[in-house]
Structure 1
């Protein structure tokens, strides 16, 4: 049996979990990757970076300013 929690039963919790604005997944991913690289626990670890959806990136690049998604670019 799997317990199911309905958000209607816990409105304050449900509201707290809603993001204030749309997340910037590119920025969040870059930030997480940077944190992993700087982690003292992972200094001797090797990293492999997989870049998926590259075709979508190149398709959107001419019509979307990169500085909109990456501050300081």
Structure 2
């Protein structure tokens, strides 16, 4: 039978606060630009499909660079 090591239950408050801020900033970076493009295109042209395609495209381009963005934000906050 395998014996797994005990989980670390104590996490410092500083690590939790840093985790919350990085997660919040990542969520804002992933959501706001695609949503703004989608709503802007829909508002100015009235084309729902074009706005959705461009919004989703930008969302996935940003998602492709999520590792680099996360490392950069973590450096700034640390």
Give the TM-score band, short-chain normalised.
Answer: under 0.3
If the length of structure 1 is used for normalisation, what is the TM-score?
A: 0.26
Question: TM-score by structure 2 length?
Answer: 0.25
User: Which structure's relative contact order is higher, taking Cα pairs within 8 Å and 6+ residues apart?
Assistant: 2
